[in-house]
Amino acid sequence: MPPMKPYLLSLGAGLLVGAVYALLGVRS
């Protein structure tokens, strides 16, 4: 598995955080 580039890592982290906030918004 090739090493992830920093911008891909930050993009993936941003999408993950966005998904978590979306789930919390739906639950509340």
| DSSP class per residue in 1-28 | -PPPPHHHHHHHHHHHHHHHHHHHHHH-
pTM of the model: 0.57
Assign 1 a pLDDT band (cuts: 50, 70, 90).
low
Assign 6 a pLDDT band (cuts: 50, 70, 90).
confident
Query: Both tokens of residue 18?
Result: 């966005």
What integer pLDDT is reported at residue 27 of this predicted model?
81
What is the C-alpha radius of gyration for the chain, rounded to an integer number of angstroms? 12
pLDDT (tens digit, 9 = 90+) per residue, 15-28? 999 999 999 998 87
